[in-house]
Amino acid sequence: MATTVLKDKIPPSNAEAEAATLGALLLDPEALSTVIHYIRPEDFYRTSNQRVYEGILNLFERNEAIDLITLTGELKNSGLLEACGGAAYISRLTSAVPTSANIKYYARIVQECSIRRRLSRIASEIVSNAHEESLNVRFIIEEAERRIFEITDQQYSGSFQAAKDIVAKTIEAIEKLYHNKDSYIGVPSGFPDLDELTSGFQNSEFIVIGSRPSWVK
């Protein structure tokens, strides 16, 4: 059974950072590309802010303009506008921050508070499980490890790239391959047979050579 530990503690959150993050996105929608890979709706503590961010993501996914008017319309059409505080709250978000220049800083604060809340919940579960004599100790440890690593695994890594940029880079790579049929596009490994398969070592690639046991790797 699960019991709540430190139930009198207020969950970590930063209302100002949440409002500043959303306000910055309304001021400069292109700033979304700098935070979309590590900020999720559930990272916002305030439910209304979760819904606002979801609305922004919905507009982005449909490749529609993101501003005060379109976001208000999106939330209204989904029946969530009043639950978010109405058009007045959306309007106040744009005045929460003068510029989008520091959006990464604001978003990191939001993310860190979210991680702290999750760690707090996990800690409560660990304490509860530790007092449950019917549970095997190894299970308790493995479950604690799984939940902790789950946080790391779910943090978005890498950076966002627009589809047009990916397509352009892909076409460039194909053209490079076409015009350099007799040479490797990467760094030669010194093993011709391997280079024939990989075309040399490529940026950001990690190559593992494997075979069955006792097959002399």
**What domains sit in the chain, N to C, each tagged with a CATH number?**
15-154 (1.10.860.10)
3-state secondary structure (DSSP) of residue 118: helix
Stated pTM of the model: 0.67
According to DSSP, residue 29 is labeled G
Strand partners, 201: 187
Token look-up 């922004």 returns: 56
Local structure of residue 10 (DSSP, 8 states): P
**Structure confidence at residue 2 as a pLDDT band (50, 70, 90):** very low
Residue 56 has pLDDT above 90, yes or no: yes
Residues 146-160: what's their mean pLDDT? 68
Q: Which two tokens stand for residue 155?
A: 């943090």
Between 182 and 119, the higher pLDDT residue: 119
Q: How far apart are CA 93 and CA 95, in angstroms?
A: 5
The angle subtended at Cα 21 by Cα 18 and Cα 22, nearest 5°, is: 90
Q: CB-based contacts of 211: which residues, under 8 Å, 6+ apart?
A: 217
Reported confidence tier of residue 3, pLDDT bands at 50, 70, 90: very low
Tokens 């990989």 correspond to what residue? 198
Distance CA 114, CA 49 (A): 13
Please, which pLDDT band fits residue 178 given cuts at 50, 70 and 90? Answer: low
pLDDT band, very low/low/confident/very high, at 202 (cuts 50, 70, 90):
confident
